[in-house]
A and B are shown apart, each in its own frame.
Chain A
Amino acid sequence: MRQALVAITVAIAAVPMLLAVAGLPRPGDAQAPVHTHVAARYVAEGARETGAENLVTGVLLNYRALDTFGEVMIIFTALAAVMAVLSSAAPRRPEDDAPGIASAIPISPVVAFIIRLTAPFIAVFGAFVILKGHVSPGGGFQGGVILGALLMLLSLVLGRGLERPLLPVPLARWLQAAGPLAFAAVGMLGLALTGALLGYPAGPDQQLLRELMVIVLELGIGIGGAAIILGLFLEMRGD
């Protein structure tokens, strides 16, 4: 009864939205306002002004770099908040697992072998996506999530407590802060060079410096994203 009432209310709420959507220009129309105001200039001048041929990376890391600064702060704060909420929970399992045995989840030997076989190739692909993010589809966060997913798979295969010696906790904390730190460093550099935070030097002979700043930001976002995703996984698993 209650669910039927909610369904009717939601259906009534959908009618004004459908009417509003019917009045929009057709998706794919080249004369729609989304293509004729700011985006036309970004498409025409983007590669020359930002040093990135992938226009999405150019918009994210040059034209709208302040928004991306906020985004890395958001995911870093989410990790800090998850650690704060779950820190009062008692550890789930006693640390008496034999090393090399994945406890509580029976990982079949076929799965473990396949993960160990393909892990180097996935790592190389993740690093490739991060570093080529400014000339081909990809970028900092895409490569960072690929590396983070690889680290999650490896920690399933290695068993509990074995990822700690590979990535000790103080190093892991610094890597998780790599995103905001990279943005702060490049921002201060931009402040020193142009007088505006995250400002890029605009000159035709400083193309190399612009590309270098974009690559440093991409590396920071990528490594920070991978470490944060692994940190979220380890916190929620019960460590």
Chain B
Amino acid sequence: MAGLWGNIDYAAFVVLFCIGLYIIIAKQNLIKKLLGLNIMETAVFAFIVTSGMVDGGTAPIVGAGATGPFASPLPHALILTGIVVAVSITALALSLIIEIYRQCGTIEADELKGAE
């Protein structure tokens, strides 16, 4: 139980998550919303990777001559899968945005809502 100043890293990642959430809700352009989604995703990845670090720890590679406390390898494996899922979501969303522009002529959310 370290208080907010001891967990300044976690607090900064919460702030980044909220900035991403603000971009998704308040901005109208679809590509800007997608960038906000990516900011939210990387903030969550950073939170989980930071929770796996150790003071004075090194990368979790046990070779010959590797000493010292190791960072936990489980969050790293989780986040590698998460990054791949994030790029898949980005690719599919961008192709849908291209198709929306081709069909409707606009990619602003309020104009799309008024058109249907």
Chains A and B touch each other in the complex, with CB atoms below 8 Å apart: yes
Binding site for B on A (CB under 8 A): 2-3, 6-7, 9-11, 13-14, 17-18, 21-30, 32, 34-35, 38-39, 42-43, 46-47, 53-56, 58-60, 64, 67-68, 70-71, 74-75, 77-79, 81-82, 85-86, 88-89, 135-137, 139, 141, 232, 235-236
B28-50: CB near A (< 8 Å → 1, else 0) gives: 00000000000000000000001
Contact A75 B4, CB 8 Å, known A24-B10, A56-B73: no
Q: Given the complex of chains A and B, what is the CA–CA distance between A190 and B61 in angstroms?
A: 25
B10 adjacent to A42 (CB under 8 Å) = no
Q: Tell me if B114 counts as interface (CB < 8 A to partner A).
A: no
Can you list 13 A-B pairs with a CB-CB distance of less than 8 A?
Answer: A10-B25, A22-B3, A24-B10, A27-B50, A34-B51, A34-B74, A42-B74, A56-B77, A60-B77, A71-B85, A75-B84, A79-B91, A135-B63
**B14 surroundings in chain A (CB, below 8 A):** 14, 17-18, 21
Q: Given the complex of chains A and B, what is the CA–CA distance between A100 and B1 in angstroms?
A: 63
Dominant secondary structure of chain B at its interface with chain A? helix
B74-107: CB near A (< 8 Å → 1, else 0) gives: 1111001100110111011011101100100000
Given contacts A11-B18, A30-B55, 20 further A-B contacts (CB under 8 A): A17-B17, A18-B4, A18-B11, A21-B10, A26-B2, A26-B7, A27-B50, A28-B53, A42-B74, A43-B62, A54-B60, A55-B60, A55-B73, A56-B76, A56-B80, A59-B73, A64-B77, A74-B85, A78-B88, A135-B63
A82 adjacent to B73 (CB under 8 Å) = no
A56 adjacent to B95 (CB under 8 Å) = no
A22 adjacent to B7 (CB under 8 Å) = yes
Binding site for A on B (CB under 8 A): 1-4, 6-7, 9-11, 14-15, 17-18, 21-22, 25-26, 50-55, 57, 59-63, 69-70, 72-77, 80-81, 84-85, 87-89, 91-92, 94-96, 98-99, 102
B61 adjacent to A78 (CB under 8 Å) = no
- With both chains docked as a complex, state the minimum distance between the C-beta of A22 and any C-beta of chain B, in angstroms: 4
Q: Given the complex of chains A and B, what is the CA–CA distance between A34 and B99 in angstroms?
A: 44
B85 adjacent to A21 (CB under 8 Å) = no
B72 adjacent to A35 (CB under 8 Å) = yes
Contact A10 B18, CB 8 Å, known A34-B52, A82-B95: yes
Q: Given the complex of chains A and B, what is the CA–CA distance between A232 and B91 in angstroms?
A: 7
